[in-house]
Amino acid sequence: MDSYINIKVKVWRQAGPKAQGHFETYELNHIFQGASFLEMMDILNEQLIAEHKDPIAFDHDCREGICGMCSMYVNGHPHGPDSAITTCQLHMRKFKDGETITVEPWRSRAFPVIKDLMVDRGAYDKIMQAGGFVSVNTGGVPDANAIAIPKPVADEAMDAASCIGCGACAAACKNGSAMLFVAAKVSQLALLPQGKIEAAKRAKAMIAKMDELGFGNCTNTGACAAECPKSVSLANIARLNREFICAKFKD
Amino acid sequence: MATTKTETAKVITPEMAKIPQGPLEKKWTNYKDHQKLVNPANKRRLDIIVVGTGLAGASAAATLAELGFNVLNFCIQDSPRRAHSIAAQGGINAAKNYQNDGDSIYRLFYDTIKGGDYRAREANVYRLAEVSNNIIDQCVAQGVPFAREYGGLLDNRSFGGAQVSRTFYAKGQTGQQLLLGAYSALSRQIGKGKVKMYNRHEMLDVVLIKDADGVERARGIIARNLVTGRIERYFGHAVVIASGGYGNTFFLSTNAMASNGSAAMQIYRKGAYFANPCYAQIHPTCIPKHGDFQSKLTLMSESLRNDGRIWVPKKLEDAQKLQRGEIKGRDIPEEDRDYYLERRYPAFGNLVPRDVASRAAKERCDKGYGVNNTGLAVFLDFSDAIQRLGKDVVAQKYGNLFQMYEKIVDENPYENPMMIFPAIHYTMGGIWVDYELQTSIKGLFCIGEANFSDHGANRLGASALMQGLADGYFVIPYTIQNYLSDQIGVPRMSTDLPEFAAAEKGVQDKIDRLMAIQGKRSVDSIHKELGLVMWDFVGMGRTAESLKTAIEKIDAIKKEFWTNVYIPGEADGLNNELEKALRLSDFIEIGRLMAVDALNREESCGGHFREEYQTEEGEALRQDDKFSYVACWKYTGEDSEPELIKEPLDYEFTERKTRNYKA
């Protein structure tokens, strides 16, 4: 059963992109374990506001694990110690009375800190702009049932497509690689007949952009998939590599 | 009071709403055949501002850019992919009739009109049903991985308010997949330089400029860069608002934390009519509230009602034991369970529309049959489905929803029935638009949930995604050209014009005023207070008395906010509390407008339930002779009541009936 706990929260505070950051520890008493982690952060911020101190800036929006906005490194794990969830789906029942919880922003060269726990993930958008699409305009497309797609293929594409673009993969990776993010999109579209046509071009363009933006190389440590809130599989990276090598052979 | 003005109200005619002539099924074709277009060379010279990147905003921005217009697209999140459309779970409707179960464009139109309790415009709804099929084709072409049958063709499921299976879905993440489809199309245009994207920017006002004939036209917006705090000016030949709904007026809702109604209120204050603000949808299947610290309510998809059965105990003593935590749902034998939806509505059973299901849950809980410690929950039970289909099939269909439930509630829904309760989910009301989706201000358009147009007094499940994408992909790209065709000679205007300066000053003054209050209350504490007033007095059951109380209380909250709110930090940098305060200042106004509209509408229809107007069986009782109109509210000033303008709804093609989901 959920009960009430007293905790300490050790939070990364950084006034701006160029400012020197530091940890600050706050005490919070009587936190209900049924509260979500972000609700605990709300309570902390209310406390800070009451003391006329600067509340902690953090990204969050849907609070149901799908928008990909929340992005906290909790006790050494992107999105915290539970599996297959985002920070907003983490609940205080995962923590013990008296515990000190460490909260940091994503730490990755390609995601500079904006303030406190808020980072700039614009690099993911730029990778998408480089090729994460099927080149069709609105209108003039065939009937939706004109091309049959085997159910297992559609299901596999769906699993890859479930990526929420939160950045946990790159944040978890010791090399700061965005391979799982890129692989998820390349796989989804390469699996489907609609996306197959541009598969090689897409893989090359997205990888080139990823490299250009300062993401690291993939050394298959698997940390990305282990921390992915949507359990996007490493098999996608293998598929991306295949698409990429095929594309290079064709050159 | 607003009600006294109804006698002399002005009227909007079908001509003013630009409803095309001709039979229902020919109207949209006739419109497209005769509308004015802009040639490719001229498109390049025209700038369009799109505010919002949800299904409506992203699809509009992408499509307008594909056509050749220059698009400036704004969103408050760090990426356009995060707009709240992403959270839609269940599906999207279309009249494909792939299941051969009797569906058609007319039937989708009819179900939507009936589901909306005969308070939507026939011509708009028919067009929506008509373009629904194009949406599915478009999404498949983009690589949206819809669920498929083993034969490789698209699968469908059933949703409330329909007797056919017309809902396309992608697991429980349909909104996400459709939004990512639109986002990929948008990304492609950003990459090509046809869309200039402004992330973490919030619109704070619209800029109107009079042309040579003295006609006021929307020519730009004032936006705040949420990172730097800088107030910026942007010009557009036309402005499209796609900023979503205002459900967060209630503080607790299924909306995302930053979802807000401020863009709508900004344009309302500049003269755009606000239509049917009282029509808000309470979704029946949400995870119940668990504490005062709660920040939002989580929706469990309506698709669960395909296989889940809703019940409460038959015996009051069983309910009381559940409330005290002495027994669990599974301990109650079959014969002691009251499947009240199946009992009351045999024809539609658990798949009645949302408003009906929500009120039925409230009725049972009000009578004391609630099943959790607060007495505000009913069961949604899958034990029958698990027996019939096996756990694996149920897991395949609803696995991610079950997982979500378990993470939040810490209880396994495969073993014990889920507990659910209604919560605010969607707002059917919104900015008034004509058939072209143009507001009452020239050059200012409004699409998606932000407008009022298609759902009447109640939206059917899986129709929000349909409307957002219909507006963005297939309607506005046509209708905006009819407006822009005579704007091709208008050069890009300087943002140094006095109208821009004045709008920016208005925004700056408001921010300065807020920052100067330095009171004692946090923004959230006041917002929660507003939310409670809304839920208690403008919620699922409304009376003249409750609404008058609400207006008094909201006026007091407004005073408290403007004299006692505390915003820490500075305005010229990142300041979340300032962002929230600006949005709350508008929620307070919207809440009041909702109450005023609800008080005026002396009938029950769809999501608007006035307890004085119900049948003996507790069903909504419309007053077609008095209230068959769209209530359009016109802003008249900070301290005066809004003026009511009516758009009568004449049903030319459908016979208005009392909604019946019993037989």
Q: Provide the domain limits for residue A131.
A: 121-250
Q: Provide the domain limits for residue B541.
A: 498-627
Q: Answer yes or no: do B227 and A150 touch at CB < 8 A.
A: no
Tens digits of per-residue pLDDT, B393-430?
A: 999 888 888 988 998 999 999 999 999 999 999 999 99
Whether A212 contacts chain B with CB within 8 A: no
Whether A3 contacts chain B with CB within 8 A: no
Q: Which residue of B has its CA nearest to A189?
A: B143
- pLDDT of the residue at B617: 84
Report d(CA B57, CA B82) in Å as an integer: 12
Report d(CA A87, CA A37) in Å as an integer: 7
For residues B350 and B308, the answer to whether their CB atoms sit within 8 Å is yes
Q: How confident is the model at residue B3 (pLDDT cuts 50, 70, 90)?
A: very low
- Report if residue B569 sits inside a domain: yes
**Average pLDDT of span B501-515:** 98
Whether B225 contacts chain A with CB within 8 A: no
Q: Tell me, yes or no, whether B390 and B506 share the same domain.
A: no
Q: Tell me, yes or no, whether A149 and A103 share the same domain.
A: no
Q: Which of A115, A149, A184 is the last residue of a domain?
A: A115
Instruction: Give B522's DSSP letter.
Output: -
Whether A30 contacts chain B with CB within 8 A: no
pLDDT for residue B2 is more than 60: no
User: Residue A85: which residues within 8 A CB-CB, separation 6 or more?
Assistant: A65, A79, A229, B407
**Average pLDDT of span A69-82:** 97
Instruction: Give B3's DSSP letter.
Output: G
**Average pLDDT of span B164-180:** 95
pLDDT for residue B6 is more than 50: no
Tens digits of per-residue pLDDT, B221-272?
A: 999 999 999 999 999 999 999 999 999 999 999 999 999 999 999 999 999 9
- pLDDT of the residue at B22: 94
Show residues of chain B in contact with A161, CB under 8 Å: 145, 170, 177, 180
Q: Which residue of B has its CA nearest to A199?
A: B143
Show residues of chain B in contact with A43, CB under 8 Å: 293
Whether A231 contacts chain B with CB within 8 A: no
- Report if residue B515 sits inside a domain: yes
Q: Tell me, yes or no, whether A10 and A101 share the same domain.
A: yes
Q: Answer yes or no: do A132 and B184 touch at CB < 8 A.
A: yes
Q: Tell me, yes or no, whether A86 and A170 share the same domain.
A: no
CB-CB neighbours of B121 under 10 Å:
25
Q: Tell me, yes or no, whether A195 and A83 share the same domain.
A: no
Q: B310 forms bridges with which residues in the sheet?
A: B380
Q: Tell me, yes or no, whether B507 and B623 share the same domain.
A: yes
Burial call B376-405: b when 16+ CB within 10 Å, e when fewer: bbbbbbbbebbeeeeeeebeebbebbbbbb
Strands B70-74 and B47-51: parallel
Q: Which of B424, B442, B476 is the last residue of a domain?
A: B424
Q: Which of A115, A134, A161 is the last residue of a domain?
A: A115
Q: Answer yes or no: do B404 and A82 touch at CB < 8 A.
A: no
B78, B146, B568 ranked by CB distance to A49: nearest: B568
Report d(CA B340, CA B310) in Å as an integer: 7
**Average pLDDT of span B9-34:** 95
Tell me, what's the ipTM? Answer: 0.98
Q: Tell me, yes or no, whether A68 and A141 share the same domain.
A: no
Whether A28 contacts chain B with CB within 8 A: no
Instruction: Pick the residue of B82, B96, B200 with the most A CBs within 10 A to test the interface with A by mutation.
Output: B82
Report d(CA B550, CA B351) in Å as an integer: 32
- Report if residue B531 sits inside a domain: yes
Tens digits of per-residue pLDDT, B31-80?
A: 999 999 999 999 999 999 999 999 999 999 999 999 999 999 999 999 99
User: Residue A41: which residues within 8 A CB-CB, separation 6 or more?
Assistant: A56, A58, A103
A42, A91, A194 ranked by CB distance to B141: nearest: A194
Q: Which residue has the tokens 């990929």?
A: B184
**Average pLDDT of span B569-593:** 98
Instruction: Pick the residue of B63, B187, B579 with the most A CBs within 10 A to test the interface with A by mutation.
Output: B187
Query: A169 in helix, strand or coil?
Result: helix
Looking up residue B291, the CATH number of its domain turns out to be: 3.90.700.10
- pLDDT of the residue at B9: 58
What's chain B's average pLDDT?
A: 95
Q: Tell me, yes or no, whether B290 and B418 share the same domain.
A: yes
Q: Which of A69, A84, A115 is the last residue of a domain?
A: A115
**What are the counts of helices (DSSP H) followed by strands (DSSP E) for chain B?**
19, 20
Tens digits of per-residue pLDDT, A153-164?
A: 999 999 999 999
Question: Rounded to a whole number, what is the distance in Å from the CA of A61 to chain B's nearest CA?
Answer: 5
For residues B354 and B283, the answer to whether their CB atoms sit within 8 Å is yes
Q: Answer yes or no: do B81 and A125 touch at CB < 8 A.
A: yes
- Note the maximum CA span of chain A: 64
For residues B274 and B633, the answer to whether their CB atoms sit within 8 Å is yes
Show residues of chain A in contact with B474, CB under 8 Å: 138-139
pLDDT for residue B658 is more than 90: no
Q: Tell me, yes or no, whether A136 and A225 share the same domain.
A: yes
**Average pLDDT of span B124-140:** 98
Q: Tell me, yes or no, whether B414 and B296 share the same domain.
A: yes
Question: Rounded to a whole number, what is the distance in Å from the CA of B647 to chain A's nearest CA?
Answer: 33
Per-residue CA distances from B459 to B93, B100, B429 (Å): 12, 24, 10
Q: Which residue has the higher pLDDT, B303 or A26?
A: A26
Q: Tell me, yes or no, whether A243 and A201 share the same domain.
A: yes
In chain B, what percentage of residues exceed pLDDT 90? 91
User: Residue B511: which residues within 8 A CB-CB, separation 6 or more?
Assistant: B231, B571, B578, B582
- Report if residue B389 sits inside a domain: yes
Q: Tell me, yes or no, whether A51 and A150 share the same domain.
A: no
- pLDDT of the residue at B161: 84
Q: HSE-up of B222 (CA within 13 Å, CB side)?
A: 25
Q: Which residue of A has its CA nearest to B177?
A: A161
CB-CB neighbours of B1 under 10 Å:
10
For residues A90 and A74, the answer to whether their CB atoms sit within 8 Å is yes
Q: Tell me, yes or no, whether A138 and A245 share the same domain.
A: yes
- Report if residue B61 sits inside a domain: no
pTM flag (> 0.95): yes
For residues B18 and B652, the answer to whether their CB atoms sit within 8 Å is no
Rg, C-alpha atoms of chain A = 20
Q: Which two tokens stand for residue B360?
A: 């039925």
Q: Which two tokens stand for residue A214?
A: 């300062």
pLDDT for residue B8 is more than 60: no
Q: Tell me, yes or no, whether B502 and B390 share the same domain.
A: no
- Report if residue B67 sits inside a domain: no
Tens digits of per-residue pLDDT, B628-647?
A: 999 999 999 999 999 999 99
Q: Which residue has the tokens 């979503």?
A: B244
Q: Answer yes or no: do B142 and A34 touch at CB < 8 A.
A: no
Q: How confident is the model at residue B367 (pLDDT cuts 50, 70, 90)?
A: very high
Whether A193 contacts chain B with CB within 8 A: no
Whether A82 contacts chain B with CB within 8 A: yes
Q: Answer yes or no: do B525 and A148 touch at CB < 8 A.
A: no
Q: Answer yes or no: do B142 and A150 touch at CB < 8 A.
A: no
Q: Which residue of A has its CA nearest to B520?
A: A50
pLDDT for residue A184 is more than 90: yes
Q: Answer yes or no: do B227 and A84 touch at CB < 8 A.
A: no
Q: B208 forms bridges with which residues in the sheet?
A: B218
Looking up residue A39, the CATH number of its domain turns out to be: 3.10.20.30
- Report if residue B430 sits inside a domain: no
Q: Answer yes or no: do B188 and A49 touch at CB < 8 A.
A: no
Q: Tell me, yes or no, whether A69 and A136 share the same domain.
A: no
Q: Which residue of A has its CA nearest to B168?
A: A144
Looking up residue B510, the CATH number of its domain turns out to be: 1.20.58.100
Show residues of chain A in contact with B53, CB under 8 Å: none
Q: Answer yes or no: do A148 and B139 touch at CB < 8 A.
A: no
Question: Rounded to a whole number, what is the distance in Å from the CA of B643 to chain A's nearest CA?
Answer: 35
Q: Tell me, yes or no, whether B288 and B419 share the same domain.
A: yes
Q: Tell me, yes or no, whether A168 and A107 share the same domain.
A: no
Whether B643 contacts chain A with CB within 8 A: no
Show residues of chain B in contact with A53, CB under 8 Å: 568
- pLDDT of the residue at B659: 82
Q: Tell me, yes or no, whether B295 and B416 share the same domain.
A: yes
Give the CA angle between residues B239, B241, B244 to the nearest 5°: 170
Query: B165 in helix, strand or coil?
Result: coil
Whether B477 contacts chain A with CB within 8 A: yes
Residues of B assigned a catalytic role: 354
A2, A48, A125 ranked by CB distance to B187: nearest: A125
Terminal alpha carbon distance of chain B: 41
- pLDDT of the residue at B4: 45
Q: Answer yes or no: do B146 and A38 touch at CB < 8 A.
A: no
Whether B377 contacts chain A with CB within 8 A: no
Q: Answer yes or no: do A66 and B176 touch at CB < 8 A.
A: yes
Q: Tell me, yes or no, whether B515 and B405 share the same domain.
A: no
Tens digits of per-residue pLDDT, B76-107?
A: 999 999 999 999 988 999 999 999 999 999 99
Report d(CA B655, CA B48) in Å as an integer: 40
Show residues of chain A in contact with B525, CB under 8 Å: 46
For residues A182 and A244, the answer to whether their CB atoms sit within 8 Å is no
Q: Tell me, yes or no, whether B412 and B290 share the same domain.
A: yes
- pLDDT of the residue at A250: 82
- Report if residue B270 sits inside a domain: no
Q: Which of B398, B424, B450 is the last residue of a domain?
A: B424
Q: Tell me, yes or no, whether B309 and B420 share the same domain.
A: yes
Q: How many domains does chain A contain in total?
A: 2
- pLDDT of the residue at B159: 86
Q: Which two tokens stand for residue B76?
A: 């408050």
Report d(CA B148, CA A152) in Å as an integer: 9
Q: Which residue of A has its CA nearest to B150?
A: A151
Q: How many domains does chain B contain in total?
A: 2
Q: Tell me, yes or no, whether A234 and A168 share the same domain.
A: yes
Looking up residue A240, the CATH number of its domain turns out to be: 1.10.1060.10
